[in-house]
Amino acid sequence: MSITRSTEWHERAQQVIPGGVSSPVRAFRAVGGQPRYFESGSGAYITDVDGNRYLDFVLSWGPMIVGHANPEVVESVIETVRHSSSFGAPTPVEVQLAEEISARYAPAEKVRFVSSGTEAVMTALRLARAATSRNVIVKFTGNYHGHVDSMLVAAGSGVATLGLPNSPGVTPGQAQDTVVVQYNNYDAVRELFDTRGHEIAAVIVEAVPANAGLILPEGDFNSFLREITEQHGSLFILDEVMTGFRLSAAGWYGLLQPSWTPDLITFGKVIGGGYPLAAVAGRAEVMNQLAPLGSVYQAGTLSGNPVAATAGLVTLKLCTPEVYAALDYAAFGAMQSIKDAFVSVGIPHTVQSVGNLFSVFFTNETVYSFEQAQTQDVSKFNAFFHALLNQGVYIPPSAYEAWFVSSMHDAEAMEFFDQAVGAAAQEIA
Ligand SMILES: Cc1ncc(COP(=O)(O)O)c(C=O)c1O
């Protein structure tokens, strides 16, 4: 496989872009080797600048749920662009997208569009603080909520301690109102609420933690969080940026159908259909505190952009029950192929999933926390990543990421994957 052109582009990129990339994981630092530069995609496959074709399990980290360059999405975007790509004023399509989101996801009574999941989270946190007149936000280890300063916070040494800045540039002041608790640690959450419940504005959690590999909730952790936040007058923010409209027509919430509602929900990825669009949504009473109805400030030059809203709306309309069945089928097939391949060569592994979202840990243990995820054999993952890449399969370039499938990962693609993963497993055994 020649990667001459990717190598040239990466050298050139590094002259003008830090590390050559617009988001760090793309640089392959975790797995080593040469990042590929891409120029086209169609359905389940992507093609790099050297002409190598790969079956894609990254899918732009989730948005390309109906495959790359879906003809209906492409046509509708072209049609929209012909009438201008932005007005900085209201457009019908953002209303239609908000209606579609609300219709699918009942707790999303009102929706405010932004351009990234990070912005959605930032807005949700501000709203929660304003609505409760409290400062403290509780988050969990291994849960990622974008690069908001107050979320780039690591746990201290205790089970539920004040956050410490996790990146230079995050000040102790920005970190001090974030408390980081170990995921799935019910006792630590109870203890925290017993002592500081009156200070807690909100708890934020990934509907299914999938940014440290896919970590399984123990028991009904989200319901527990809803209950305890309600008891203490704190808000519950469910982060569905990754899971929203992917796990089902209404995301994790639609898959599990709990009897409760979150106060606020953050969405991104699928709702933009591959364009920069995300949203904060939730209870009207809370959402109405946003300007101009309320006094909580939030704005954006390109927020609700009509091109992105069109792509998102068409994508959601394409996400029929048949599409969700196809996603589940593809994910199930991929997981089975991985298990069969590793069992046949004796590689310790655990494949974890919730619905069609899954990841592979190189350990025999079930993983319930980030701390546990870190005990896996990362060097084995890195070898697996490169072996698959050489077979023409592009998976996330890190041992701590979930894999994504699209409705275009059909039987033929999954047969190709089965062969590739078999060969990769033999290579790294
Ligand atoms: C659960 C979750 N929340 C928030 C974000 C941040 O979204 P964005 O990358 O669009 O800023 C991500 C991104 O992967 C995410 O997975």
Task: Decide if pLDDT at 164 tops 80.
Answer: no
In this predicted structure, the answer to whether residue 159 has a pLDDT above a threshold of 60 is no
118 Cα: distance to centroid of ligand 1 (angstroms) = 6
pLDDT of residue 80: 98
Q: Out of 144, 183, 253, 394, which one is annotated catalytic?
A: 144
Two tokens, residue 367? 């993983």
Q: Which of 100-104, 165-169, 405-409 has the lowest mean pLDDT?
A: 165-169
Contact at 8 Å (CB) between 339 and 349?
A: yes
Q: How far apart are CA 400 and CA 22, in angstroms?
A: 19
Q: Which of 215, 126, 240, 160 is nearest to 400 (CA)?
A: 215
Quote the CA–CA distance of 196 and 228 in Å, as a whole number: 12
| Token pair 């974030």 in the structure block, residue | 178
The two most distant CA atoms of the chain are separated, in Å, by: 61
Confidence of residue 157 (pLDDT cuts 50, 70, 90): low
The answer on pLDDT for 81 being more than 90 is: yes
What percentage of the chain reaches a pLDDT higher than 90?
95
Helices 411-428 and 321-345, interaxial angle, to 10°?
20
CB 49 within 8 A of CB 5: yes
Ligand 1, from 123, 140, 145, 246: best to mutate by most atoms within 8 Å of Cβ? 145
CB of 354 closer than 6 angstroms to any ligand 1 atom: no
Atom of ligand 1 nearest to the CA of 118: 11
Which residue's alpha carbon is nearest to atom 13 within ligand 1? Answer: 146
The CA 427 to ligand 1 mean position distance, Å, reads 34
Q: How confident is the model at residue 77 (pLDDT cuts 50, 70, 90)?
A: very high
- Is any ligand 1 atom within 6 A of the Cβ of residue 117? yes
- pLDDT per position as a tens digit, 104-124: 999 999 999 999 999 999 999
Parallel/antiparallel/unpaired status of strands 53-56 and 393-394: parallel
Instruction: Enter the pTM of the model.
Output: 0.97
Assess whether pLDDT exceeds 70 at residue 161: no
Position 31 scores a pLDDT of 94
Residue 409 has pLDDT above 60, yes or no: yes
Q: Is 105 a catalytic residue?
A: no
pLDDT of residue 154: 81
Mean pLDDT of the chain: 96
Active-site hit among 45, 239, 324, 394: 239
pLDDT of residue 162: 65
Q: 61: which 2 tokens?
A: 């980290």
121 lines ligand 1 (CB under 6 A): yes
**CB of 118 closer than 6 angstroms to any ligand 1 atom:** yes
Residue 97 confidence class, pLDDT cut points 50, 70, 90: very high
Amino acid at 370: F
Per-residue pLDDT, averaged over 136-155, amounts to: 93
Which atom of ligand 1 sits closest to the CA of residue 243? 1
Query: Is 239 designated active site?
Result: yes
Q: How many percent of the chain have pLDDT more than 70?
A: 98
Q: Tell me, using a 6 A CB cutoff, whether residue 145 lines ligand 1.
A: yes
Which residue puts its alpha carbon closest to atom 5 of ligand 1?
Answer: 146
Q: What is the average pLDDT across 116-144?
A: 97
In tens, the pLDDT along 30-75 reads 999 999 999 999 999 999 999 999 999 999 999 999 999 999 999 9
Q: Which of 110, 139, 269, 380 is catalytic?
A: 269
Please give the distance, rounded to the nearest whole angstrom, from the Cα atom of residue 61 to the centre of ligand 1: 9
Question: What pLDDT does 166 receive?
Answer: 84
In one-letter notation, the amino acid at residue 134 is R
The answer to whether the CB of 240 is under 6 A from ligand 1 is: no
Q: Is 7 exposed, middle or buried (CB count within 10 Å of its CB: 0-12, 13-18, 19+)?
A: middle
Ligand 1: residue whose CA is nearest its atom 8: 117
Range scoring the smallest mean pLDDT among 43-52, 120-129, 159-168, 175-184: 159-168
Q: Band the pLDDT of 226: cuts 50, 70, 90.
A: very high
Q: What average pLDDT does the segment 149-164 reach?
A: 74
Report the pLDDT value the prediction gives residue 156, as an integer from 0 to 100.
63
Cβ of residue 139 lying under 6 Å from some atom of ligand 1: no
Beta bridge partners of 55: 45, 393
The yes-or-no verdict on residue 277 having pLDDT over 70 is yes
Which residue, judged by its Cα, is nearest atom 7 of ligand 1?
117
Lowest mean pLDDT among 127-141, 150-164, 199-213, 254-268: 150-164
Ligand 1 atom nearest to 119, measured from its CA:
11
CB-ligand 1 contact for 243 (6 Å cutoff): no
Q: Which two three-digit tokens encode residue 213? A: 């590999």
Burial 196-234 (b: 16+ CB within 10 A, else e): ebebbbbbbbbbbbbbbbbbbbeeebbebbbebbeebeb
Which range, of 102-106, 172-176, 243-247, 320-324, averages the lowest pLDDT?
172-176
Average pLDDT of the segment spanning 335-356: 97
Q: Is 144 a catalytic residue?
A: yes
Return the HEC string of the chain: CCCHHHHHHHHHHHHHCHHHCCCHHHHCCCCCCCCCCEEEEEECEEEECCCCEEEECCHHHCCCCCCECCHHHHHHHHHHHHCCCCCCCCCHHHHHHHHHHHHHCCCCCEEEEECCHHHHHHHHHHHHHHHHCCCEEEEECCCCCCCCHHHCEECCCCCEEECEECCCCCCHHHHCCEEEECCCCHHHHHHHHHHHHHHEEEEEEECCCCCCCCCCCCCCHHHHHHHHHHHCCCEEEEECCCCCCCCCCCHHHHHHCCCCCCCEEEECHHHHCCCCCEEEEECHHHHCCECCCCCECCCCCCCCCHHHHHHHHHHHHHCCHHHHHHHHHHHHHHHHHHHHHHHHHCCCCEEEEECCEEEEECCCCCCCCHHHHCCCCHHHHHHHHHHHHHCCEECCCCCCCCECCCCCCCHHHHHHHHHHHHHHHHHHC
pLDDT of residue 160: 56
Cα 34 to Cα 8, 11, 48, 54: the distances in Å are 10, 10, 12, 15
Q: Establish whether residue 268 lines the binding site of ligand 1, counting it when its CB lies within 6 angstroms of any ligand atom.
A: yes
Q: Tell me the best of 22, 23, 211, 264 to mutate to test the pocket of ligand 1, counting ligand atoms within 8 Å of each CB and taking the most.
A: 211
pLDDT recorded at residue 294: 98
